[in-house]
C-alpha cells in the first residue's frame, strides 16, 4: 500500500537514525497502533497540519495543554510580547507571582506554589517534600496511575508504560522501587491495610485526581475523600496529581469539581499541561506549612535554571485568564456529545465497549461493557487490539486520536460544529474497522 504521507515517512526514517525510536517521548512513535507517526508542522484552533499538508481534527491537544485551542490569539500575543522582552533572566519576574495568584484564586487548597518545568519535576519535588516534611520514606501509588518518569513511581505506571507493556523500567534500582508500595486503584480497604501495617513509615499517598493514563477511570464515590481521611489519621500527606486534570476538568481542576464541595483538601497538588498553555511549565502547591519546607525557607532542596521562565509564565497567565467558566461549559458539552456519538457508532457495529469518564475527560475501552473499568487490571483485560484499526481509520479520515487506547481524548474551546462533524462522519467506518479486528 502506498503511503498517503510520504514526507512524514521520510522524516521518520531520518529521525530514527538520530533519536531512539525516532522520538523524544515514547507514545509518539505509534508503537501500539503501528504505522508511521505523522510529523506535525503547525496547529491552529482544533486542527493540526502535518508535513504532507494534511490536516486533522486534533483530539490530543498536546496531551492536554491546548484547552483554548491551538495558537489562541491572546496566548500568542502574550508570548510574542514576552519574547520581545528577552527569553530568560535567571532572576525573579513579575509574571511568576501573577500566575501563582491566578492558581491560588482558583484552587483554594493552594496556599503557596512553586513553578517547575515539567509534570515529572512537580511530582518528584512533591514526593521529596513529603518525605522531608514527615521524616518518613514510603510512598503509596496506585497501579495504572502515571506521575511522570521519576524512578520511584514508574512501577505499574500507566501511559506509555502501559502501552509498551513494560513492568516498570530498567535502570530503576531495587532500593528506589522498594520505597514505593503499589496498590490497586479504587480499593480503600487495601489502603487501610497498608497503613495498618506500615503507617508510621508512610510519607504520602500520591494519586491522579482522576486517573487518565490507564484510559480514564472514575474515582469511586468517596475514594479521594477516603485517601484524605486515612492519610490525616496517620500523619501522612495526600498528594493529588492534577498535572492532567488541573484547569482542564474545570475551573479549579478535578478537586474543584469534587473535594472542594465535599469539604476535604489534599496537602499538596501538582499541576502541568494547561497551566503553561503549551509552554514547559508545571507547578506544585498546597499547604503553606508544607510548602515552606522547600529551600530557601526550609531544608528540602529544589531548583531550576528555567523555572518560572518569563515566556512560559506569560503563556500560563494568558491561558488561565481566558480559561473561563464558558470554556469549561463548552468543553463539557462537547465531551458529552462526542462520547455519545462514539458510543452509538460502536453500538451500531456491535462493538462491546464502555465509555470511561471523569468530568469532561473520557476514553473508550473495548469488551468492558459488563463491568466497566475501575482499576488497572480491568484496563489491561480489555480488547485493546480493537483500537489500532479504529485509530487508523480515524486518522485516514482526518481525525488525530491519541495513539494508544490507554490515553484520554482531549477537546478544546476551539472544537466547533465543523470539527465535531468531521469526527462524526469518520466514526462509522472506524467502528466497522474495530468490529472486524
Ligand atoms: N502526572 C500526570 C497525571 C500526567 O498525566 C503526566 C504526563 N502525562 C505527568 C504527571 C508528567 O508530566 P510531564 O510529562 O510534563 O513530565
CATH number at residue 182: 3.40.640.10
146 alpha carbon to ligand 1 midpoint, in Å? 7
Split into its structural domains, the chain has a count of 3
**Are residues 81 and 167 both part of a single domain?**
yes
**Are residues 103 and 245 both part of a single domain?**
yes
**Are residues 49 and 159 both part of a single domain?**
no
- Whether the complex's predicted ipTM surpasses the cut of 0.95: yes
Look at residues 287, 322, 357 and tell me which one is the last residue of a structural domain: 322
Look at residues 289, 306, 322 and tell me which one is the last residue of a structural domain: 322
119 alpha carbon to ligand 1 midpoint, in Å? 5
Among the listed residues 9, 50, 95, 241, the single catalytic one is 241
**Are residues 259 and 135 both part of a single domain?**
yes
Predicted TM-score (pTM) of this structure: 0.97
Domain that holds residue 337: 325-400+420-425
Told to judge if 146 belongs to the known catalytic residues of this protein, a careful annotator would answer: yes
Annotate 227-265 with b (16+ C-beta within 10 A) or e (fewer). bbebbeebebbbbbbbbbbbbbbbebbbbbbbbbeeebb
Q: In which residue are the cell numbers 518518613 written?
A: 136
**Are residues 239 and 302 both part of a single domain?**
yes
Told to judge if 289 belongs to the known catalytic residues of this protein, a careful annotator would answer: no
Which atom of ligand 1 lies nearest, measured to the CA of 213?
5
* Tens of each residue's pLDDT in the chain, 437 residues: 578 999 999 999 999 999 999 999 999 999 999 999 999 999 999 999 999 999 999 999 999 999 999 999 999 999 999 999 999 999 999 999 999 999 999 999 999 999 999 999 999 999 999 999 999 999 999 999 999 999 888 877 766 666 555 557 888 888 888 899 999 999 999 999 999 999 999 999 999 999 999 999 999 999 999 999 999 999 999 999 999 999 999 999 999 999 999 999 999 999 999 999 999 999 999 999 999 999 999 999 999 999 999 999 999 999 999 999 999 999 999 999 999 999 999 999 999 999 999 999 999 999 999 999 999 999 999 999 999 999 999 999 999 999 999 999 999 999 999 999 999 999 999 999 999 98
344 alpha carbon to ligand 1 midpoint, in Å? 31
Q: Which residues line ligand 1 (CB under 6 A)?
A: 63, 118-120, 123, 146-148, 159, 208, 213, 241, 243-244, 272, 282
Cα–Cα distance, 245 to 186 (Å, whole number) = 18
Told to judge if 387 belongs to the known catalytic residues of this protein, a careful annotator would answer: no
Cα–Cα distance, 82 to 84 (Å, whole number) = 5
Bridge partners for 202 per DSSP: 138
Rounded to 5 degrees, what angle do the CA atoms 353, 141, 261 make? 75
**Are residues 298 and 336 both part of a single domain?**
no
Cα–Cα distance, 68 to 324 (Å, whole number) = 10
Amino acid at each position: 500500500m502506498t503511503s498517503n504521507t510520504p514526507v512524514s515517512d521520510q522524516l521518520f526514517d531520518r529521525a530514527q537514525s538520530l533519536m531512539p525510536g525516532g522520538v523524544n517521548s515514547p507514545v509518539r512513535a505509534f508503537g501500539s497502533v503501528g504505522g508511521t507517526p505523522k510529523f506535525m508542522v503547525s496547529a491552529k484552533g482544533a486542527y493540526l497540519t502535518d508535513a504532507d499538508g494534511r490536516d486533522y481534527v486534533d483530539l490530543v491537544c498536546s496531551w492536554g495543554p491546548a484547552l483554548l485551542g491551538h495558537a489562541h490569539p491572546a496566548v500568542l500575543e502574550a508570548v510574542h510580547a514576552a519574547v520581545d522582552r528577552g527569553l530568560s533572566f535567571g532572576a525573579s519576574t513579575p509574571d511568576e507571582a501573577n500566575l501563582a495568584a491566578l492558581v491560588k484564586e482558583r484552587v483554594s487548597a493552594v496556599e503557596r506554589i512553586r513553578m517547575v518545568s515539567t509534570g515529572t519535576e512537580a511530582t518528584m519535588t512533591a514526593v521529596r517534600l513529603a518525605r522531608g516534611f514527615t521524616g518518613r520514606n514510603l510512598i503509596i501509588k496506585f497501579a495504572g496511575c502515571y506521575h511522570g518518569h521519576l524512578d520511584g513511581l514508574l512501577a505499574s505506571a500507566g501511559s506509555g508504560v502501559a502501552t509498551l507493556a513494560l513492568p516498570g523500567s530498567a535502570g530503576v534500582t531495587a532500593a528506589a522501587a522498594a520505597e514505593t508500595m503499589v496498590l490497586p486503584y479504587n480499593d480503600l480497604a487495601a489502603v487501610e491495610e497498608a497503613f495498618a501495617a506500615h503507617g508510621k513509615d508512610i510519607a504520602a499517598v500520591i494519586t491522579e485526581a482522576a486517573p487518565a493514563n490507564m484510559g480514564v477511570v472514575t474515582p469511586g464515590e468517596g475514594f479521594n475523600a477516603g485517601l484524605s481521611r486515612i492519610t490525616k489519621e496517620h500523619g501522612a500527606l495526600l498528594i493529588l496529581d492534577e498535572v492532567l486534570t488541573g484547569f482542564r476538568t474545570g475551573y479549579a481542576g478535578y478537586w474543584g469539581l469534587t473535594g472542594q464541595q465535599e469539604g476535604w483538601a489534599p496537602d499538596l497538588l501538582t499541576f502541568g499541561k494547561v497551566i503553561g498553555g503549551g509552554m514547559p511549565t508545571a507547578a506544585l502547591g498546597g499547604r503553606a506549612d508544607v510548602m515552606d519546607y522547600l529551600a530557601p525557607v526550609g531544608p528540602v532542596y529544589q531548583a531550576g535554571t528555567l523555572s518560572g521562565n518569563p515566556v512560559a509564565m506569560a503563556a500560563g497567565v494568558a491561558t488561565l485568564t481566558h480559561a473561563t467558566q464558558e470554556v469549561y461549559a463548552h468543553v463539557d458539552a462537547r465531551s458529552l456529545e462526542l462520547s455519545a456519538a462514539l458510543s452509538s457508532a460502536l453500538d451500531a457495529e456491535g462493538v462491546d465497549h464502555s465509555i470511561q469518564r471523569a468530568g469532561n475527560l473520557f476514553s473508550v475501552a473495548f469488551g468492558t461493557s459488563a463491568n466497566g473499568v475501575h482499576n488497572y487490571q480491568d484496563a489491561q483485560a480489555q480488547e485493546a487490539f480493537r483500537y489500532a484499526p479504529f485509530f487508523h481509520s480515524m486518522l485516514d479520515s482526518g481525525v488525530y486520536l491519541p495513539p494508544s487506547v490507554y490515553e484520554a481524548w482531549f477537546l478544546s474551546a476551539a472544537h466547533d460544529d465543523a470539527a465535531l462533524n468531521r469526527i462524526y462522519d469518520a466514526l462509522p467506518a472506524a467502528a466497522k474497522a474495530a468490529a472486524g479486528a
